[in-house]
Amino acid sequence: MSSRRTDSDSEPLVRVSGLTKHFDNSSGLLGSYEFAPDGLSFPFTHSPETVRAVDGVSFEIERGETLGLVGESGCGKSTLARVLLQLLSPTDGDIHFQGENLAELSSEALRQRREDIQMIFQDPQSSLDPRMKVGAIIEEPMEAHGLRDAAGREQRARELLESVGLEPQYYDRYPHEFSGGQRQRINLARALSVDPEFVILDEPTSALDVSIQAQILNTLQDLQAEFGLTYLFISHDLSVIRHISDRVAVMYLGELVEVGDVDRLFEDPRHPYTQALLSSIPVPDPRSRGTRSVLHGDVPSPIDPPSGCRFRTRCPDLIAPAEYDIPDGEWADVRELIRAVDRRSFDADSVSEIQDRFLDGRLSDDRCQEIVVEAIEHTVADEWERATELLRTEFAERSVCAESVPTLDSVADERASERRVACHLHETGTN
């Protein structure tokens, strides 16, 4: 453990509250201008677009633990990492590191903090200058921060090579002489050379063969124990996240939707998005099949995310609008119909046939029955968009999931482990 680890030991190492990063996509991009219809005269409107990459994210990381951050591509994981690393300034929110608000630090204090927070990227090649020898690569951050004399830096570099599972004599070799896994080990040695407290690992094993991945993960765990490190481990690969994490934060479209202890979260995922992600993990036994549908469709644009719960447009558990008196089983049938119309996944020959296929008789709520029949009639008339629109405005947009933003609240867990979920299904009184 580092000698700096003395003050504010009761504080989590990292405390992030309401962290937000929006990108203004308009700068220099013609894409945000709408041109006059003749295509010749000066653009008459300008609509700057805001990419809501990270939106009000709060979490803590305790000293010595690994928080796994998981989510599909484009959900904001790398942006969050870059803001934590101070490579990007937040639009809003606070980052407390060792009890200090990074936004309030002097530039000298911030420089010191930069030493304490290091990052490992996916591509082990990109951060290794091919013209520099391994020793110089590892020593560079120490030199930049004025740590040790030349002999001390060399000794440290050789020690670190050993710590990360390489030979000390590799000190005099060039990066091209190493495999991908070995290069990632060199990156680790380089990051550890300044004795950081906190290491952010952004898909550190994604570019490596599966057999090498496991070795690097094991080395990361050994290094964590040896140096008392705290990790934020970012990956879209759930098996890697399960292997390495103590706790897991699940991110969707710029927001956290579930946070919990790794074993509990994998055994008993609560958020429909976490459930869908887990059900999409390939299972070794081809005969065993998940009971839930995997994720359909793409992640919506962070420029115009869905209202309310951002996952609702893909959620298999969308809550029925309160204004309809519709039993759960009937609502499940309606949801199935909505999805099928969305995907145009059936032949629309006759209204009664489609009704029989999706519904178990007439719906008990008259208004729901009317809407469903009208939508089916549209499909039979080959007016799929009108059907989709009708089902969207009469059902999806009237759900609490569309009308109100769920907050990331604690939910009861039978093993009393920490669990926070942002889903209306789990709000007190709903479930």
Ligand X SMILES: Nc1ncnc2c1ncn2[C@@H]1O[C@H](COP(=O)(O)OP(=O)(O)OP(=O)(O)O)[C@@H](O)[C@H]1O
Report CA Rg, the chain.
Answer: 26
Please give the Cα distance from 340 to 346 (Å, whole number). 7
Judged by CB under 6 A, the stretch of 27-35, 70-78, 101-109, 304-312 that binds ligand X is: 70-78
Give the torsion sign (CA, 129, 132, 133, 138): negative
CB of 10 to ligand X, least distance (A): 32
Please report whether residue 79 would count as binding ligand X according to CB under 6 A: yes
Closest to ligand X by CB, 71 vs 204, is: 71
CB of 342 to ligand X, least distance (A): 22
Choose, by CB under 6 A, the member of 20, 23, 132, 367 that binds ligand X. Answer: 23
Please report whether residue 306 would count as binding ligand X according to CB under 6 A: no
Q: How many CB atoms lie within 10 A of CB 263?
A: 15
Contacts of 274 (CB under 8 A, 6+ apart): 250, 257, 258, 265
Per-residue string for binding with ligand X, 379-418, x by CB under 6 A? ----------------------------------------
Annotate 74-87 with b (16+ C-beta within 10 A) or e (fewer): bbbbbbbbbbbbbe
Please give the Cα distance from 221 to 224 (Å, whole number). 5
Please give the Cα distance from 40 to 410 (Å, whole number). 56
Closest to ligand X by CB, 80 vs 359, is: 80
Choose, by CB under 6 A, the member of 13, 19, 67, 75 that binds ligand X. Answer: 75
CB of 68 to ligand X, least distance (A): 13
Please give the Cα distance from 396 to 223 (Å, whole number). 49
Angle between helices 150-163 and 180-192 (to 10 degrees): 130
Please report whether residue 74 would count as binding ligand X according to CB under 6 A: yes
Judged by CB under 6 A, the stretch of 68-76, 90-98, 173-181, 400-408 that binds ligand X is: 68-76
Annotate 174-197 with DSSP letters as a single string.
Answer: -GGGS-HHHHHHHHHHHHHTT--S
CB of 270 to ligand X, least distance (A): 21
Identify residues 95-124 at the interface with ligand X (CB under 6 A): none
Please report whether residue 56 would count as binding ligand X according to CB under 6 A: no
Choose, by CB under 6 A, the member of 302, 308, 316, 321 that binds ligand X. Answer: 302
CB of 190 to ligand X, least distance (A): 22
Per-residue string for binding with ligand X, 169-208, x by CB under 6 A? ----------------------------------------
DSSP bridge pairs for 97: 14, 100
CB of 33 to ligand X, least distance (A): 17
Look at residues 256, 262, 258 and name the one whose alpha carbon lies nearest to residue 275. Answer: 258
CB of 21 to ligand X, least distance (A): 8
Q: Which two tokens stand for residue 58?
A: 């709060």
Please report whether residue 32 would count as binding ligand X according to CB under 6 A: no
CB of 29 to ligand X, least distance (A): 9
Closest to ligand X by CB, 71 vs 175, is: 71
Identify residues 216-255 at the interface with ligand X (CB under 6 A): 236
Please give the Cα distance from 214 to 149 (Å, whole number). 36
Q: Which H helix or E strand runs over 117? A: strand 117-120
Task: Quote the distance between the C-alpha of residue 34 and its chain's center.
Answer: 32
Please report whether residue 73 would count as binding ligand X according to CB under 6 A: yes
Q: Which two tokens stand for residue 243?
A: 């292997």
Judged by CB under 6 A, the stretch of 72-80, 127-135, 213-221, 329-337 that binds ligand X is: 72-80
Size of the site for ligand X (CB under 6 A): 14
Please give the Cα distance from 357 to 97 (Å, whole number). 57
Say if CB 277 and CB 75 are below 8 A apart: no
Look at residues 201, 222, 250 and name the one whose alpha carbon lies nearest to residue 85. Answer: 201
Please report whether residue 78 would count as binding ligand X according to CB under 6 A: yes
Closest to ligand X by CB, 23 vs 174, is: 23
Choose, by CB under 6 A, the member of 12, 76, 269, 321 that binds ligand X. Answer: 76
Judged by CB under 6 A, the stretch of 29-37, 73-81, 152-160, 286-294 that binds ligand X is: 73-81
Q: Which residues bind ligand X (CB under 6 A)?
A: 23, 25, 51, 53, 71, 73-79, 236, 302
